[in-house]
Amino acid sequence: MPFTAKSGKFNASIKAVTLGSGDKATTIGGENVLPFYTFDAPIEHAPKVGIEVTDFGMEHEPDCVKKYYEGCTTAADMVKKAVTFEGVDFVSFRMEGGDPNGANKSTEELIATLKEVAEAAGDMPLVVSGSKNAERDAELLSKAAEAVQGKNAIILAAREENYKTVGAAAGLAYSQIVGAESSVDINLAKQLNVLLSQLGVNPSNIAMNVGSASAGYGYEYVASTMQRIKAAALSQNDAQLQMPIITPVASETWGTKEATATEVDVPEWGDVESRGIDMEVETAAADLACGSNAVILKHPVSVATVSKLIKELV
């Protein structure tokens, strides 16, 4: 008796969200199958890979990353070089210095740097991230949405504490894409999407960051959350969970002990650069397999490696 495989193609689909404009605009989402299930249906928009630069420029980067930006002095210089690296689909600029518990840079300084970065990126799609402090980001991301008006950028991210301010500025006033950030919980992710929709943000202009962690650091919660969200979006046709997912990987993986411990301290672990790349690639690959539609990385080798992986699987 012949075997007939059951199709994994769903009637529902993930919303397609386009970031950027012009020839280099790129689209995430749009699929109606589980991650990389191309044997059930074609995936028109393959997952995308971004490269991260922060307002600190070269200052806080590990030596193994700095060598790829030789001759650069500012964040804008780094972006000009970053867009030439293999596999880069978009640039992510993180305003790390805005953290009031850290450098606490002024809003004016950060927005001035953002404008320089946006100009340096040219037509390359842009993601703008905040300081990870919800109160400060309400101001920073609202100003950022205005500063990059016309770029069709993802403003990452609106959280439950500041979604009204960030969502209104990014999604309504300046026609950007709103990144909705929740804390590794399907119900919180859905609730934030509902709140943004009730605010007036078009669901087709929302991308989700449902939480992230480095592989080995409580990652199973991230994996299960992404999988549950994709299952609900596709098999249950839950419209409030059908937004594409974007996952910041760089800021998680390059702070782990595996990526930072010197070879003098742990010689048995081997080369520190290889360890950092491994952590980043492993985490990004897991995120993509669990349902992320875009990942943000730091090391150029990681970007090229994950980009090649995607091309082989889609």
pLDDT confidence of residue 8: 81
244 contacts: CB under 8 Å, gap ≥ 6:
14, 15, 16, 17, 28, 29, 30, 207, 208, 293, 294
Region 32-38: mean pLDDT is 97
Opening angle at CA 272, ends 117 and 256, nearest 5: 70
pLDDT confidence of residue 259: 96
pTM of the predicted structure, to 2 decimals: 0.96
For residue 87, CA distances in Å to 46, 70, 82, 250, 296 come to 12, 19, 10, 15, 12
pLDDT confidence of residue 7: 76
- Whether 49 and 303 have beta carbons less than 8 Å apart is answered as yes
pLDDT confidence of residue 17: 98
Rounded to an integer, what distance in angstroms lies between the CA atom of residue 228 and that of residue 33?
A: 14
Mean pLDDT score of the chain, rounded to an integer? 97
3-17, 125-139, 178-192, 199-213: lowest mean pLDDT where?
3-17
pLDDT at 71 exceeding the cut of 80: yes
Rounded to an integer, what distance in angstroms lies between the CA atom of residue 124 and that of residue 190?
A: 30
pLDDT at 76 exceeding the cut of 90: yes
Rounded to an integer, what distance in angstroms lies between the CA atom of residue 240 and that of residue 313?
A: 28
Q: How confident is the model at residue 268 (pLDDT cuts 50, 70, 90)?
A: very high
pLDDT confidence of residue 6: 75
SS3 181: strand
Percent of the chain with pLDDT over 90: 97
Q: What are phi and psi of 214, to 5 degrees?
A: -80, 150
For residue 128, give the DSSP letter. Answer: E
Name residue, tokens 């990353």.
65
For residue 241, CA distances in Å to 74, 203, 238, 301 come to 38, 10, 6, 32
Q: How many CB atoms lie within 10 A of CB 33?
A: 20
For residue 307, CA distances in Å to 20, 123, 140, 162, 261 come to 19, 20, 31, 33, 27
Q: How confident is the model at residue 4 (pLDDT cuts 50, 70, 90)?
A: confident
- Whether 234 and 273 have beta carbons less than 8 Å apart is answered as no
- Whether 195 and 163 have beta carbons less than 8 Å apart is answered as yes
Write the pLDDT tens digit of every residue in 90-99.
999 999 999 9
Region 180-195: mean pLDDT is 98
Write the pLDDT tens digit of every residue in 161-170.
999 999 999 9
pLDDT confidence of residue 226: 98
Q: How confident is the model at residue 66 (pLDDT cuts 50, 70, 90)?
A: very high
pLDDT confidence of residue 234: 98
Rounded to an integer, what distance in angstroms lies between the CA atom of residue 136 and that of residue 155?
A: 14
pLDDT confidence of residue 190: 98
pLDDT confidence of residue 2: 77
Rounded to an integer, what distance in angstroms lies between the CA atom of residue 300 and that of residue 277?
A: 9
For residue 117, CA distances in Å to 57, 83, 109 come to 10, 11, 12
Question: What are the start-end ranges of the H helices in 148-296?
Answer: 163-167, 186-199, 219-235, 250-253, 257-260, 272-290
